[in-house]
Structure 1
Amino acid sequence: MKDQVANNTRKFFKNKVPELLMYAGCSENGLLSGHDLSAPKVSGSKKNSAESLIFRVDMSLQYVQAIKLALNTMPPLYKQVIELTYFKHLKMFQIAKQIGYAERTIANSKNKMLKEFAIRFFAVQARLGIEDKDIIDLTKTKEVA
C-alpha cells in the first residue's frame, strides 16, 4: 500500500488544485509564475450566496498562494518534479529526460517529495494566517483530498 500522506497529496494535486485555481481565477502557469496572488481579505460571513462566493474565491486565493510558497521553499529537484508532474502533466519518462535523472530514481523518490510538500504546505497555511478549521492538512492519516 502506498504511503497515505503521499497519496493524500497526489489526490490534492489531481482533484483539489484545479478547483482552487478555477475559483482563484488563475491558471497553472499563473501559479508557477512570479506574480503575487495576494488579494484583500473578505469576511467569512455566509449570509447570502454572493458573500459565500466571495469567501470561496478569497480562500482559494489564499490556498493557491500557500501552494506557491510551499513549492518555492522546496529543494529545487522536488519542486521541479512536482511542477512537471502535476502542472505540466508530463509522464515519468519525459520528466526523467528533461531533468537528467533515471526514471527509476524519480519514481523511487516521488513519495518523499510529496510528503515534503504536504508538511511545507501545512506550515505555510498556518504562517499565512489561515484559520485552523480551514487548513487543508495533507499529513492526516485519513483521506482528505
Structure 2
Amino acid sequence: MAKFKDEVANNTHRFFINKLPELLEFAGCHEDVLLSGHDFSEPKVNSSKKNSAETIVFRVDSARIMLDAVKDTLDSMNETERKVMEYCYFNHLRIFEIAIRLSCSERLVSIYKIKALKSFATRFIAMQVKNGIDEKHIFDLTKTKEVA
C-alpha cells in the first residue's frame, strides 16, 4: 500500500482502497457508476449476510447517500485532479501509466496525486454535509493524529 508523508493524503488513499469498495458493495453497484451519470435512486439490495431487512435497507440507503457525496466531490474537482483520481483509483493505473496519459513526468503525477487526495478530503466534508449525512457519520479525512 502506498505511504504518503502527508496524513490527510494517507487517510484519503485508505478511504479509496478500503471504504469505497465496501460502500459500492452495499449499494450493489460497480465503481464505474461514480464516473458516469448513474442515478442511485433505485439501489439493488444484495447481501448474503443474515441481517434484518431494515438494517440492509438502511445500509444500502446510507451507502447510496455517501456514494452521491463521493461522486459530487469528484465532479467538483479541477480536471487534472479528477483525472488523476480516476486513473489511479478507478482505472487502477500506476504512476508511470498516468504520466503517459497526462503527458507529464512521474514526479509531477505524484505531486498531482497528493494534491488531489488532499483536495478530495477537504471537499468531501462539505459534500457530505450538503447531501444530508448526519454529523456523526461524516468521514473526516482531514483529521490527523495529535502528536503528544
Q: What TM-score do the two structures reach when normalised by structure 2?
A: 0.86
Aligned length: 135
Alpha-carbon contact 2:84-2:112 (below 8 Å) kept: no
Q: Distance in 2 between matches of 1:19 and 1:104?
A: 31
1:139–1:39 Cα change, 3 Å: farther
Please give the root-mean-square deviation of Cα atoms over the aligned residues, in Å.
Answer: 1.5
Q: Does structure 1 residue 50 correspond to structure 2 residue 53?
A: yes
Report if aligned partners of 2:99, 2:105 keep a CA contact under 8 Å in 1: yes
Task: Give the secondary structure class of the aligned counterpart of 2:39.
Answer: coil
1:94-130 Cα deviation digits (max 9, x unpaired) = 1110121211101123222101001111100001111
Shift of 1:39: 5.2
* Residue in 2 that maps onto 1:44: none
Match of 2:103 among 100, 103, 107: 100
Instruction: Report 1:20-35 matches (<5 A).
Output: 20-35=23-38
Question: Unaligned stretches of 5+ in structure 2?
Answer: 44-50
The alignment-based identity, stated in percent, is 52
Comparing 1-10 with 63-72, greater Cα deviation is found at 1-10
User: Contact (CA 8 Å) 1:39, 1:61: kept in 2 or not?
Assistant: no
- Is the 2:24–2:63 Cα contact (8 Å) retained in structure 1? yes
Greater Cα shift, 96-105 or 30-39: 30-39
Find the partner of 2:73 among 57, 67, 70. Answer: 70
Q: Deviations over 1:4-31 (max 9, x none)?
A: 1110000000001011011111111111
| C-alpha distance in structure 1 between counterparts of 2:40 and 2:54, whole Å | 20
Counterpart CA distance in 2 for 1:49 and 1:36 is 25
| Secondary structure, counterpart of 2:104 in structure 1 | coil
SS at the partner of 1:78?
A: helix
Q: Which structure has the higher relative contact order (CA within 8 Å, separation 6+)?
A: 1
**For residues 39-69 of structure 1, what are the alpha-carbon distances to aligned partners after superposition, in whole Å with 9 as ceiling and x for unaligned?**
59xxxxxxx7221111111000011110000
Q: Report the equivalent of 1:13.
A: 16
Report matched runs for 1:123-138 at 5 Å.
Answer: 123-138=126-141
Specify which of 61, 64, 68 is matched with residue 61 of structure 1. 64
